[in-house]
Structure 1
């Protein structure tokens, strides 16, 4: 399967990544991609972004180095209520909002509470997708999570870096992909690149999708049109949620 958008990349703004936005765009172009999402870590992670970073992404052009640019975030799930670490008015502006667990922001609470945290994030209007849900450091009820993601029109990520840096992820990722196929849940595929040469690195993901017999229709970033349609729908939903919340508190 050909993945044409990298939905998970990090720039120097993340604090522990080593490439600029232009570098990432160059990496996407070199791989023959049609686009990439800049998904720097949320400000709840020590040593990373300031909220202004995400607020100012709107100044960047829609096309960089000949490839489509999508503004995004890999937000941190901060608690078992599924709270994420960026203000709603900024989230409403972004193209693509992922949320996930990171050890420095969320301690493993055990399978049931971890599952509840992910489900709460999926039910939130601010979150579009869950990043690296197959991470074995945070066990979750995979079938419940896939079911909720499907029911709420959200996506689950198959993360290529997980196979190298999150040891033991493969069985979980394969099970997630098979459940997504069986239950009809959308997926996205991300390199999780922290250096420009890794943008569009999908060797492990593509092999896993083939093993799971995943159809292209369920892999949102196997098509620019499909990904753009998802992004447009989710951005509109986040904007509507922000307007509604603003009116309630007015």
Structure 2
């Protein structure tokens, strides 16, 4: 599996990442990617950038080298009600929104509570992607939620970094992908890059997709044009 857009990446604005947006784009172009989404952490994460970082993303050129740059965020799910640490006013200005659970911003509790949170998140119209939802730390009722993700048109992320580094994520990715295949839920396969040379690199995720014979038509970022069409249909003509 080769992707044309990496839709979950970080820069030094999130200080546990180590590359600039320009460095990310240089390597993305080397690897043949057509686009990346800049999705640094929202404000409740201890080392996140100030809200001004997101307010001023318009200062970035639309293309850096040959790579289209989507101005986005990884928002944190902060409670069982699916609230985020980024308000609608901010999210409405952005072009790509990943919503994720992190132990620093949402204390892990029970599968019931995590399920409740994901079901509520679905109703937020600004969210595009349910981020790295395969770790053992945040178990949830996958089948119930996948059905809801489909109902509300949310993309489900298969996250290379989580597969390689988060307990249970490889095993849980199999279960999640089987359900996405069953219910024809579109996924995005991302690096969750924290260093430029990792951008667009998804070997572990690709192995799982191949083993499951997962339909490429359900991998939205296998083709940049499909991502572009998704964004344009949702946000109008933003110049991509």
Q: Give deviations 1:74-98, integer Å, cap 9, x for gaps.
A: 1000001111111212211211101
Secondary structure of 1:8 counterpart: strand
Partner of 2:188: 188
Work out whether 1:38 is the aligned partner of 2:35: no
The unaligned stretches of length 5 or more in structure 2 are: none
Secondary structure of 2:6 counterpart: strand
Structural mapping, 1:72-111, within 5 Å: 72-111=72-111
Q: Distance in 1 between matches of 2:84 and 2:10?
A: 18
Greater per-residue helix proportion: 1
Shift of 1:32: 1.1
Q: Distance in 1 between matches of 2:29 and 2:106?
A: 35
Partner of 2:197: 197
| Contact 1:122–1:129 (8 Å) recurs in 2 | no
Q: Give deviations 1:141-190, integer Å, cap 9, x for gaps.
A: 11111111101011010000012210221111111111111101110011
Shift of 1:235: 2.9
Secondary structure of 2:193 counterpart: coil
Q: Distance in 1 between matches of 2:2 and 2:195?
A: 21
Shift of 1:46: 1.3
Q: Distance in 1 between matches of 2:68 and 2:111?
A: 38
Q: Distance in 2 between matches of 1:4 and 1:61?
A: 19
**Shift >3 Å, 4+ stretches:** none
Partner of 1:28: 28
Q: Distance in 1 between matches of 2:205 and 2:128?
A: 20
TM normalised by structure 2 equals 0.95
Partner of 2:153: 153
Q: CA RMSD in A?
A: 1.1
Partner of 1:213: 213
Secondary structure of 2:211 counterpart: helix
The unaligned stretches of length 5 or more in structure 1 are: 237-250
Q: Distance in 2 between matches of 1:20 and 1:6?
A: 15
